[in-house]
Structure 1
Amino acid sequence: MVSSSSMGDDGLIHRLGHAKALLGILAGAGASYGIYKLVQKRSRTKSVDSGGHENRTGVEPGSLIAKVSGFNVVGAPGSSSGDIFTKSPGSLEPHHIGMLLSLLQKNPNPSERAQVLLTLGNAAAFTVNQDLIHDLGGLHVIAGYLSNPSADVRVQSLNALNNLSMNLKNQEHLKVYVPQVLELIEISPVNSDLQLAALRLLTNMSVTDKHQHLLKSSITLFLSLLVVANEALQIQVLKVLVNLSSNPDMMEDIVQSQAPASLVLLFDRCTSVAVLLRLLTFVGNLRAWRPSTQVAQALRWRQESLYCVLLDESSQLHHRLPLLLSHPDGEIKAQVARTLT
């Protein structure tokens, strides 16, 4: 887990650029984040079959991965299979899933492992396969590649676990990997595919309040990432924060977390609509919380806390929010009006 150690604005970007620095759910909704659309990458290697046809997939014609991963693989001339082997993720049979899990563990080639994980991730978009992978012990097999030396393998492992986490039963088994996923966010380059994939998984894991407590010591990490990340990653961070802030039991942990003072600058017309809407939803959840006089007084002594940055009477947010009432987007204006009431 990431600690909430002190971090000033001046050194923030410098720290986030290093290996151990603090740093991709619809706004206001409690529904689960939709299935992540996995994008199949072409292999960096090329080969030519015996007939002179170029094979860009990096897998052998007729191999298991060619048959079950959905690739269009050119086979040798005269092949009885019609030269093309395809299998859509939705039509994989139980023995295919078992063979993929076996191949994943036996094949040492990183690029082929990544492709097998991609196939398992696509298959996990279907409920029947989520249950099947669970019953075959595949959750722990796939999660075992979160520490693989290959970044592509780690990304595809996260993507597969993301789809598997759509199943609440699976979440009970995946919760033990939350600290490892948080560490990946912390040590990975800012705006990397690894960070985005890890945050997608945490979005699903934080849909209900059952496992949200596992993230409470990493709120500072999320808030720090917000001020340096690109739009895609900001949106994903905010989906997690909106989920957490919808739980009253998490609120005290959220507001006392250290936050960069520059966070308030995101409440601006220049911020993208998608990010701003989620920021306003997050703040709306925070403002709905009513601390006792004693708690509020204690929080005011922590000048770097989120409470002081966004909620206290001295916060610049109180001056910035009314300016957004003239925002050209109608939904932004409506959300600001709700927040101010």
Structure 2
Amino acid sequence: MGDDGVVPRLGNMKALLGLIAGAGASYGLYKLVRSGSKKSEISKRSIDRSSESGFESKPLSNMAIRPGSLLAKVSDMNIISGTETTRVTDTPPSDVLSKSPGSLEPRHIGMLLYLLQNTPNPSERRQVLLTLGNAAAFTVNQDLVRESGGLHVIAGFLPDPSPDVRVQTLNALNNLSMNVRNQEQLKIYVPQVLELIEMSPVNSEIQLAALRLLTNLSVTDIHQHLMKNATKLFLSLLVVSNEILQIQVLKVLVNLSSNPDMMDDIVQAQAPASLVLLFDCCTNTPVLLRLFTFIGNLRAWRPSAQVAEALRRRSDSLYCVLLDESSQLHSRLPALLSHPDSEVKAQVAKLLT
């Protein structure tokens, strides 16, 4: 095949990938409503989008396409979606560029998934995952990825040797998780995501991206039980991490503690004694406010006398550290009444009543 055929194909491919990479320029509002559940107040719980992460977002169209490389080859490949087989080069650039970013066709998603599975270059894998994550900002593409079998393909890169690839995998799964049907497939990766949090450096982008994904998976009661043994991990991370990660940990804890069925596991979890030190005027205000929400959820739980007595025998339980009459928290709250933030003072007064 001569050069005259290669140049237009590469141009088409760059235009197409540039369009898809730009699909994350804006995000729609997201609401997850659990069908048939009257008690879930999702508007009070936390959701997260990877667009808020501040991570660099470079479109694939900026990548150099070398002759003979995977990107050059894929510009002339057959994309199979369902029963339809289409050549990428059959779509003129003008038609591709005129498409709404939220109405990408199955063959475009299929092309990206093919690239992801077949490139040995970590940098290119990262860019493809970034593009898929941006495309997943739109509900139609969340469905397309699932219907193409792409959820498990993407999740397959959670253990990738490259930290950047792992981060972009988590970001893509985060956007894809803003879809109830996708969550049904993604729930099996919760243990793997928790392991990434535990094994990764504190305050790393991997921990932050993993917590964002867990925030979305915990926004309804459906999959929260998969995290019931992770309270100790979250509390330990809370006392050693920076403010950005603290907020993310608390989003998950607030979501979990909104479910009465999770409370027994939460209050029994081992908690660091230094947890009470966060209730201080020096603590970042957004962190304090989420701490108060978490405490409010915990106090709404009423153990029987027998259960409370059993919990008191474990001095390192969350119950003893934050809820029991012997907790140091009670002596720390009055000092926060002088906090400069009016909402903090209102929350403290509410807790003291």
Q: How does the TM-score come out when normalised to structure 2?
A: 0.77
Cα distance change of structure 1 residues 122 and 87 upon mapping to structure 2, 3 Å threshold: farther
**Aligned 1:7-156 pairs, distance under 5 A:** 29-31=43-45, 33-37=47-51, 39-40=55-56, 57-60=62-65, 63=71, 89-90=101-102, 92-156=104-168
Identical aligned residues as a percent: 71
SS in 2 for 1:307: helix
Quick one: distance in 2 between partners of 1:86 and 1:305? 58
User: Which residues in structure 2 correspond to 1:1-341 (within 5 Å)?
Assistant: 29-31=43-45, 33-37=47-51, 39-40=55-56, 57-60=62-65, 63=71, 89-90=101-102, 92-341=104-353
Task: Write the distance in 1 (CA, Å) between the matches of 2:290 and 2:279.
Answer: 11
Consecutive unaligned residues in structure 2, runs of 5 or more = 1-30, 32-41, 76-91
SS of structure 1 residue aligned to 2:175: helix
1:323, distance to aligned residue in structure 2 (A): 1.4
Cα distance between partner residues in 2 of 1:155 and 1:254: 28
Displacement, 1:36?
2.1
Amino acid at match of 1:98: G
Name the structure 2 match of 1:15: none
Contact 1:59 1:65 (C-alpha < 8 Å) held by counterparts? no
CA deviation digits over 1:194-253, x for unaligned, max 9?
000000000000001111111111100000000000011000000000001111111111
Larger fraction in helix: 2
Q: What TM-score does the superposition give when structure 1 sets the normalisation length?
A: 0.79
Looking at structure 2, the residues matched to 311 and 65 of structure 1 have their Cα atoms a distance apart, in angstroms, of 62
Aligned CA distance change for structure 1 residues 173 and 81 (closer, same or farther; 3 Å): closer
The total of aligned residue pairs comes to: 291
User: Superposition RMSD on alpha carbons, in Å?
Assistant: 2.8
Give the distance between the partners of 2:100 and 2:162, measured in 1 at CA: 26
Structure 1 Cα separation of the partners of residues 325 and 298 of structure 2:
14
Structure 2 Cα separation of the partners of residues 163 and 237 of structure 1: 18
Structure 1 ranges of 4+ moved more than 3 A: 28-32, 55-58, 61-67, 85-92
Offset at residue 56 of structure 1 (A): 10
Checking the alignment, whether the CA contact within 8 Å between 1:121 and 1:160 is kept in structure 2 is yes
Is the CA contact (8 Å cut-off) linking 2:218 and 2:252 kept in structure 1? yes
* CA pair 58-257 structure 1, distance change in 2 beyond 3 A: same
Q: Say whether the 8 Å CA contact 1:134–1:170 is kept in structure 2.
A: yes
Alignment CA distance shift 1:284-1:125 (3 Å): same
Displacement of 1:88: 8.1
CA–CA separation in structure 1 for the residues paired with 2:74 and 2:138:
21
* d(CA) in 2 for partners of 1:66, 1:116: 13
Kindly indicate whether structure 1 or structure 2 has the higher relative contact order, using CA contacts under 8 Å at least 6 residues apart: 1
Q: Displacement of 1:30 after TM fit?
A: 3.5
